[in-house]
Chains A and B, each alone.
Chain A
Amino acid sequence: MNISGAERSVEIKGFGGALGLVLDKAAPFEVIESDLRQLLQDTSSRRFFQGSEIVLGPDTRTLSAEEFSKLNQILQEGELELKPLETNGNAARLRKLRATESRGSKADTPTPKADTKPILEEAESEVVPESAAASPQLALPTLETVVPPAENPTPVNQEKSELHPGLNTDSGLIVRQTLRSGQTIKSKHSVIVFGDLNAGAEIESEGDIIVLGTIRGMVHAGISGDATVTVLGLRMQPTQIRIGSYISQPPAEKSGSIVTGPERAFVENGQIVIESQACGPAELIAMLLTFQRRGARSKVASRGSVPAIAVGAIRL
């Protein structure tokens, strides 16, 4: 889908549902800037793109943070917004996209160099869930993957939609790898990690955060201010937990000395509370289910839960 028709250093292409910006690798940045302006001035394409979110496409030029913000400014003038973080440096996903790209149009797409690291180099968030690669929109079903088919998730979804008007609530981000130091995930959706969150790694989510492994890094659930979201980890040794506008550090004692089982953090009476979850596989599934359901919190900790430990919470 070449909107411009003519040879330009900037193109906007569709990548499986998302709009991707493809920048000529050879062209100087000034040319890219002016071509992008021109592209957006074209009234027909402008109307077409208006209000859309746009990501940096695969096999594109590397941008410095400064160049990136300049492009974003131009796009914003055209009422488009460049979304860096969801594609940014996402090697696996980009490679897959690139692979499908070059397979699809071998003739006009030159084979990308093996070591091209296409996106913004400054902020490294090289983690991409494999599942995201299949559907680049990042709107992935979570419940569907963990819920037995007998369950009917419809009322749950309705409940959530009321709480988050405008947010695609029955979607989430599945990360199938351990997040290591320096790797970050930022998502508008709830995040489920199959692996550990190591110290120095960060997850920021507008929804809930579930880590099916050890949380050693920083988690921030409800980054847009929603304090009704929760954080679950099979082992909690976080450097920090943030929920909505609340922030807490784990107690000063040596980590791992008290609880080694699954724990859940949520905000209660203006404090972040961490609650132990005694659970087997069945309860774990139940817990995952209730993550979509704010009101069901008490039901989760039905059996064998220890009294909640209040952790010193500071209002930001």
Chain B
Amino acid sequence: MSQSIVITSGKGGVGKTTTTANLSTALANTGSSVVAVDADIGLRNLDLLMGLENRIVFNLVDVVKGRCTARQAMIKDKRSPNLFLLPTSQVDDKNAVSPEEMGGLVEELRKGFDYIIIDCPAGIEQGFRNAIAGADRAVVVTTPEVSAVRDADRIIGMLQHHDVPSQLIVNRLSMKMVESGEMMSQEDVVDILAVDLLGVIPEDSEVVVSGNQGVPVVLDTSSEAGAAYSRICRRILGESVPFPDFAEKRGFLTRLFRR
């Protein structure tokens, strides 16, 4: 039973591609076969975060247009033998592919993979419609900012319209700012969006470092964000994993004196 999951957000820069790279890696490390599909045609990024940019020969548009097979275009990950990347084209734009064609591609990929993780572009236009065309469900990524939450709300509404159930990831949560009342808490975000919370990723500078190196942060077990992605992966696999209180990490005394 293969599953296709689209990672989407509406707003740009909230961590869709990072989430795609990390969840794909984490899922592959559990033994599932995974393909990460970069649907952000024209703004190719996912290959960078996975450290695979110099291996690209064919891309998603080539596959859809029949210029090559999906097997030929897919790149095997450096580290995990179960993980493949289907990179996108850097020279075409979103209109190069139709939702029907994307739906067909996902159907084809289902035959060979347990999980198809689709990295959706920002926006609500054709690129979005393409990315969700073959998705069984959606993971909506937002940051605790009013603009990101507003866009996520719009996206969730559109996903409902297309009958795609959605779950939420709150990315870049800074517990310090939440405590000082400068940032929305995860509860505030869930209260507004009223969807299931799949996970919370704390603000962590390791994400930027690992992204630049092309090594998903989830492989770094000591980083907070990496651990959070591992937990989300287990939740996707159906495990019930408790949500840790990020404030606990501050230590008992610090918390005591802060009050």
Knowing A115-B133, A126-B161, A198-B192 are in contact, say whether A181-B154 is a contact too (CB < 8 A).
yes
Q: How far is the CA of A182 from the CA of B152 in the complex (A)?
A: 11
Q: Does A245 contact B (CB under 8 A)?
A: no
Looking at A126, A178, A180, the one whose CB has the most chain B CB atoms below 10 A away is: A180
Residue on B nearest A128 in the bound complex, by CB:
B161
Q: Does A216 contact B (CB under 8 A)?
A: yes
Q: Does B110 contact A (CB under 8 A)?
A: no
Q: Do B157 and A183 have beta carbons less than 8 Å apart?
A: yes
Q: Find B154's partner among A89, A91, A182, A216 (CB 8 Å cutoff).
A: A182
Decide if B100 touches A115 in the complex (CB within 8 Å).
yes
Q: Which residue of B lies closest to A180 (CB)?
A: B157
Contacts of A216 in B (CB 8 A): 192
CB atoms of A182 and B99 under 8 A apart: no
| Chain A residues near B154 (CB-CB < 8 A) | 180-182, 200
B158 interface residue per 8 A CB criterion: yes
Enumerate chain A residues within 8 angstroms of B194, measured Cβ to Cβ. 178, 195-196
Task: Return the contact of B161 from the options A91, A178, A200 (Cβ within 8 A).
Answer: A91
Q: Does A181 lie within 8 Å of B153, measured CB to CB? A: yes
**A21 interface residue (CB < 8 Å to B):** no
What does the 1/0 interface line of B100-118 toward A look like (CB < 8 Å)?
A: 1001000000000000000
Pairwise interchain contact A200-B153, C-beta atoms closer than 8 A? yes
A199 interface residue per 8 A CB criterion: yes
Chain A hits for B151, CB < 8 A: 181
| Contact residues in B for A182 (Cβ distance below 8 Å) | 154, 157-158
A178-200 vs B, CB cutoff 8 Å, 1 = contact: the mask equals 11111100000000000110111
Partner of A181, one of B99, B133, B157: B157
Instruction: State whether B161 touches A199 (Cβ < 8 A).
Output: no
What mask results when residues 141 to 171 of chain B are scored 1 for a CB within 8 Å of chain A, else 0? 0000000001101101110111100000000
Instruction: Closest A residue to B159 by CB, please name it.
Output: A180
Q: Are B100 and A126 in contact (CB under 8 A)?
A: no
A126 CA to B164 CA, complexed, in Å: 14
Nearest A residue (CB) for B99: A115
Q: Which of A212-236 contact B (CB under 8 A)?
A: 216
Q: Are B99 and A199 touching (Cβ within 8 A)?
A: no
Find the A residue at minimum CB distance from B146.
Answer: A199
Judge whether A180 and B153 touch: CB under 8 Å: yes
Return chain A residues, CB-CB under 8 Å to B100.
115
Instruction: Collect the chain B residues with CB atoms within 8 Å of residue A180's CB.
Output: 153-154, 156-157, 160
Q: How far is the CA of A31 from the CA of B192 in the complex (A)?
A: 47
Q: Nearest chain-B residue to A91 (Cβ)?
A: B161
- Name the residue of chain A whose CB is nearest to the CB of B161: A126
Q: In the complex, how many angstroms separate the beta carbon of A89 from the nearest chain B beta carbon? A: 7
Chain B residue nearest in CB terms to A179:
B157
Q: How far is the CB of B138 from chain A (nearest CB, A)?
A: 14
Neighbouring B residues of A178 by C-beta, 8 Å:
194
Q: Which residues of A contact B157 (CB under 8 A)?
A: 126-127, 179-183
The residue of chain A having its C-beta at the shortest distance from the C-beta of B194 within the complex is A178
Residues from chain A with Cβ under 8 Å of B163 in the complex: 91
Tell me the complex Cα distance, A195–B191, Å: 12
Specify which of B99, B100, B103, B161 lies most central, judged by the most chain A CB atoms within 10 Å of its CB: B161
Contact (A199, B150) CB under 8 Å given A91-B161, A115-B103, A216-B192: yes
**Chain A, range 101-125, C-beta contacts under 8 Å to B:** 115, 124
What residues of A have a CB within 8 angstroms of the CB of B162 in the complex? Answer: 91, 115
Whole-angstrom distance from the CB of A178 to the nearest CB of chain B? 6
**Docked pose: A195 CA to B193 CA in angstroms:** 11
User: What chain A residues lie within 8 Å of B133 (beta carbons)?
Assistant: 115
**In the complex, what distance in Å separates the CA atom of A195 from the CA atom of B156?**
15
B133, closest chain A residue (CB): A115
Given A178-B194, A180-B156, A200-B150 contact (CB < 8 Å)? yes
Interchain CA distance A180-B99 in the complex, whole Å? 24
Q: Which residues of B contact A89 (CB under 8 A)?
A: 161
Is B150 in contact with A181, judged by CB distance below 8 angstroms?
Answer: yes
Contact with A along B209-229 (1 / 0, CB 8 A): 000000000000000000000
A284 CB, nearest partner CB in chain B, Å: 21
Distance (whole angstroms) from the CB of A275 to the closest CB of chain B: 25
Q: In the complex, what's the smallest C-beta–C-beta distance from A196 to chain B, in angstroms?
A: 7
Nearest Cβ in chain A — how far from B128, in angstroms? Answer: 12
B10: nearest residue on chain A (CB-CB)? A181
CB neighbours of B160 from chain A (8 A): 126, 177, 180
The residues of A that contact B156 with a CB separation of less than 8 Å are 180
**Sampled A-B contacts (14; CB under 8 Å):** A115-B162, A124-B161, A126-B157, A126-B160, A177-B160, A178-B194, A180-B156, A181-B151, A181-B157, A182-B157, A196-B192, A196-B194, A199-B150, A200-B150
The 3 A-B pairs with the shortest beta carbon distances in the complex, nearest first, are A180-B157, A126-B161, A181-B154
Binding site for A on B (CB under 8 A): 99-100, 103, 133, 150-151, 153-154, 156-158, 160-163, 192, 194
Given A126-B158, A181-B154, 19 more A-B residue pairs with CB atoms under 8 Å apart are A89-B161, A91-B161, A91-B162, A124-B158, A124-B161, A126-B157, A126-B160, A127-B157, A178-B194, A179-B157, A180-B154, A180-B157, A180-B160, A181-B153, A183-B157, A196-B194, A198-B153, A198-B192, A199-B153
